[in-house]
Amino acid sequence: MRALWTAVFTATALFGSLAHAAERTVILAVDNMYCAACPHIVSTSLYRIDGVAVVAISNADKTATVTFDDARASVADLIKATTDAGYPSKVRP
């Protein structure tokens, strides 16, 4: 029984930090998307962030749905990327 508890404790200590990293999806409301080229520019700015896996842009809804690894990127990183590209954004409730 002691060996079992030792194994559980060791596994928790070694792999516990991995449990905090997760794939996360957020929808950003993106300003200034008015033309056919805008979605490409916004998408490119988001894909340049390490940890971004999928970007889906809706020019009609003025949104960017972004799936990313929250251990490598943050929502603040996403917002900064679109804003720096000329498209201020915020998390859509």
Within-domain flag for 46: yes
Supply the DSSP string of 12-42, one letter for each residue: HHHHGGGGG--EEEEEEEES---STTHHHHH
Q: How many domains does the chain have?
A: 1
pLDDT band at 8 (very low <50, low <70, confident <90, very high): very low
Q: Write out the residue range of the structural domain in which residue 44 sits.
A: 20-91
pLDDT tens profile 10-57: 555 545 545 567 999 999 999 999 999 999 999 999 999 999 999 999
Within-domain flag for 71: yes
The helix/strand/coil state of 59 is coil
pTM metric for this prediction: 0.77
pLDDT above 80: residue 6: no
Within-domain flag for 9: no
What is the CATH number for 30? 3.30.70.100
Mean pLDDT (the chain, rounded):
87
pLDDT above 90: residue 93: no
